[in-house]
Structure 1
Amino acid sequence: MPSATEQKIIDAAVRLFAAQGYDATSVQEIVAAAEVTKGALYHYFRAKDDLLFEIYRLLITSQSADMDRIIGLGLPAAETVREILVSLVVSTAERVDETAVFVRELHRLGEERMAEFRAERRRYHETFLAVIEKGQADGEFSSVVPADTVGRIVFGVVNQLPMWYRPDGPKPPASLAGEIADFVLAGLR
């Protein structure tokens, strides 16, 4: 959990990166928007790309913890999938700027950070696919569509949310999440 100062820096960076892009945002602009000193920023982040990675790390850590908690409930596959999808879509929609910044600026991560990102993303995807596969093996879901295809569809929709979802639009995150989950589950049955 970030400190209050660290969170101010992250929030300022998200706003600026979302509005003007990573390259067009200077460290000085982040410091001014966060109302902190450069020393404070460098206390928490060695460089601007560390800040970019932290934006992603906070999001995926939260989403992974939610998924692990849901799986730990031991619900039937359909309920587990629904809960995971609702949690994932809500957290992505509620943090649409963070998601947009990360998706757009992902290529800026160095090799080591990119490897960390890929490993955590792979763990999330494989865990979700295991729930689908178990539901298919148990006969709760149809196996007409392979689990990996279901995963590509689900994660494709979620990764595209920043392109079309607007927090000030007519559909709150929970409503959108429920509709997406219902759509996926209808396809699995």
Structure 2
Amino acid sequence: MTVATEPAVTPERRRAPRGSARQSIVAAATELFARRGYEATSVQEIVAAAEVTKGALYHWFGSKSELLTSIYRELLAEQTRRLAEIAAGDGPVGERLRAAALDVVEHTAEHLAELTVWARSAHLLDDEHAEATRRERRRYHDLFRDLVHEAQLAGVVRADVSATVVTHTFLSALGNIHTWFHPDGPLTFTEVGHQLVALFVDGVRAPAESAPAGGPARG
């Protein structure tokens, strides 16, 4: 399986505007991590591609691992904020759950390179930055699980499967698309994601009868 990558950063690339060193570092690191892999990419290669000094990189990031986790944590924070807004919305819970599933698919499609880099490299990290990222990821999972649980209590999502199982099944399926998706295939990543949402929504829909007395467990 291959994932589309950005064009290689070349020495001829125009120098980044003043004040955008951090953005240049993140863009160069994302491209190099995607093309060469996290372990095979050196700090020197990143600063050369970004056309900055090592001092500039270490001004923003304490290490290569912090750079990698920072790329993901910023996107995760955005995902979490968007999910919280959807979950707290006024619409019917079934519509909010579907909107949340579509939102994470579309956000993933918008940032496919960065999120694929993280999915491929996260297992290589074992430091305080990685642990902080795992805690933040659990917060996203908990918010999504709570929305599923609310939908179960409302009788619109099946209650014979725990909200935790439902949540992990959907988010894990989305997170693993990169292992088999091919950009030259008949469907775009967004189209694949929307089909996944359709399967998710249909698969968790409650039967005509209401949820069992006492309500479902979150798991």
RMSD: 1.8
Residues 99-155 of structure 1: CA deviation (Å, up to 9, x unaligned): 222122213334322321221111111111111111111111221222122112101
CA contact (8 A) 1:100 1:163 kept: no
Listed as ranges, the matches of 1:111-126 within 5 Å are 111-126=127-142
Three-state SS of the structure 1 residue aligned to 2:176 is: helix
What stretches of structure 2 of length at least 5 have no aligned partner?
A: 1-18, 206-219
Runs (4 or more) in structure 1 with deviation over 4 Å come to 166-169
User: TM-score normalised to the size of structure 2?
Assistant: 0.78
% identical equivalent positions: 39
How many Å apart are 1:178 and its aligned residue? 2.6
Question: 1:1-189 maps to which residues of 2 (within 5 A)?
Answer: 4-167=20-183, 169-189=185-205
Aligned residues: 187
User: Which one-letter code corresponds to 1:114 in the other structure?
Assistant: A
Bigger Cα Rg: 2
Question: Could you say what secondary structure the match of 2:52 adopts?
Answer: coil
Contact 2:174-2:193 within 8 A present in 1 as well: no
1 CA distance for matches of 2:189 and 2:120? 21
Residue 10 of structure 1: CA displacement?
0.7
- Cα offset, 1:185, TM superposition: 0.9
Give me the whole-angstrom Cα distance separating, in 2, the residues matched to 1:168 and 1:23: 27
Report deviation, 1:44: 0.9
Give the Å deviation of 1:28: 1.3
Q: Residues of 2 paired with 1:70 and 1:164: CA distance?
A: 29
Question: Quick one: distance in 2 between partners of 1:95 and 1:162?
Answer: 12
Contact 2:98 2:197 in 1 (8 A): yes
Amino acid at match of 1:93: A
Q: Which residue does the alignment assign to 2:208?
A: none
